[in-house]
Amino acid sequence: MPCTTTLAGKKATADGSTLIARNEDYGHAFNPKRFIVVTPDKQPKDYQSVTSKCKVDLPGNPMRYTVVPELESTMKTMGWWGEAGINAANVAMSATETSTTNSRVLGVDPMNKKGIGEELQMKLQKANDQTAKAAYDAAMKCFGDCVETGALQIKLNY
């Protein structure tokens, strides 16, 4: 069972709020996170995945964004796993809704063990996405149908 995200836009709530809710059900279900703000000057230029060993150059000229990654103590063994955040353009993302835990899915669409996985999604997308559509288009161009996760994007001022 993957992690779950629920989104409710302004037209779906009684007071016009945009709501984003998310759970994590990985492993023992007590997997502490931290909320951080990544400023452009703190954005790394590249990232080495812990889970797949894939090394990628990160996009230049990044935006400020919030993210909820692993604790620093678990990042050494698990990786970044940014999970959810909102950038300076008000584009929100929930990522890492793992589909690879299902053996039936892997039987039909095996994962590339050295490829870009969900651990990297927030680092690759949140720093540069100006719109939810641009984020989707970038994901399809970058990941195509080989991405191992579900991800949701929403533009908060709609």
Catalytic residue positions, numbered: 3
Task: For residue 81, give both structure tokens.
Answer: 């796993």
Residues 85 and 66: beta-carbon distance below 8 Å: yes
Tokens at 69, concatenated: 């990654």
Chain centre distance of CA 102: 19
* Residue 51: both structure tokens together: 């889970």
Q: Nearest CA to 125 among 72, 89, 71?
A: 89
Measure Cα distances from 55 to 49, 115, 120, 147 in Å. 6, 9, 10, 16
